[in-house]
């Protein structure tokens, strides 16, 4: 019964994500043609998949809710960024606020304040790193990416420093591989900007769900 309810909730949330994504895409670029039905189907598929993973990965309601919101927001941002090369500021802020509230509740409830310290460190360090990169190489990263990274650092740092470091590495590596591949087949160039949001999402979700099995960065 719980499994069925989890899948149902994930499907409903995924459908809503698809509908909201269509709304934002049209607002950002009215010329962009994308089927609402396709976005809803994609949202439902991803929603059910991640609902199952979240139920398996986390046992407490606060962590389940926090990382369910994170997954939903990242799926939404990925849909939008992939089609418009824009990340929605309000979605990023919503992820940040809910993440702070829910993870603080979890830390207080379980007396795990070291996790909050790690989350703060990772949020600050990742935000500083990407801000510097944005200043050194303007255009390489969008302002939306710079805003999103500290939020992801907060969620990942709460799980551990290792997860936060690996997430950035996976995001940068996957973006580089795709960019080089597109150039190699003649479908990209060094002057063409690559939407980085989907790769941040990939790195984050991999490390949220399988970060514990990745090699430790620290001895």
Q: pLDDT tens digits for 133-168?
A: 888 876 667 888 999 999 999 999 999 999 999 999
Q: How far apart are CA 94 and CA 91, in angstroms?
A: 5
Q: What is the pTM of this model?
A: 0.93
Q: Give SS3 for 188.
A: coil
Give the pLDDT band (50/70/90) at residue 192. Answer: low
Q: How far apart are CA 79 and CA 18, in angstroms?
A: 8
CB 28 within 8 A of CB 85: no
| Per-residue confidence (pLDDT) for residue 195, from 0 to 100 | 81
Range of lowest pLDDT (58-67, 163-172, 190-199): 190-199
Task: Please calculate the CA angle 4-101-5 and round it to the nearest 5 degrees.
Answer: 5
Run of H or E including 211: none
CB 21 within 8 A of CB 76: yes
Give the pLDDT band (50/70/90) at residue 185. Answer: confident
């Amino acid at each position: 019964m719980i499994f069925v309810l989890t899948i149902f909730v994930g499907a409903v949330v995924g459908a809503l994500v698809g509908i909201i994504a269509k709304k934002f895409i049209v607002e950002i670029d009215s010329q962009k043609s994308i089927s609402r039905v396709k976005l809803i189907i994609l949202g439902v598929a991803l929603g059910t998949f991640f609902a199952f993973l979240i139920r398996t990965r986390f046992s407490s309601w606060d962590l389940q809710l926090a990382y369910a919101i994170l997954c939903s927001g990242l799926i939404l941002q990925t849909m939008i960024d992939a089609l418009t090369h824009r990340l929605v500021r309000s979605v990023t802020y919503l992820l940040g606020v809910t993440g702070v509230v829910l993870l603080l509740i979890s830390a207080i409830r379980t007396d795990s304040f070291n996790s909050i310290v790690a989350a703060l460190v990772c949020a600050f360090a990742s935000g500083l790193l990407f801000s510097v990169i944005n200043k050194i190489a303007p255009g390489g990263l969008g302002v939306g990416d710079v805003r999103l990274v500290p939020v992801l650092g907060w969620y990942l740092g709460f799980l551990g420093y290792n997860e936060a470091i690996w997430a950035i590495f996976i995001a940068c590596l996957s973006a580089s591989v795709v960019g080089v591949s597109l150039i190699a087949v003649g479908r990209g160039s060094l002057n063409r900007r690559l939407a980085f949001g989907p790769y941040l999402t990939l790195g984050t979700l991999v490390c949220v769900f399988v970060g514990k099995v990745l090699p430790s960065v620290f001895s």
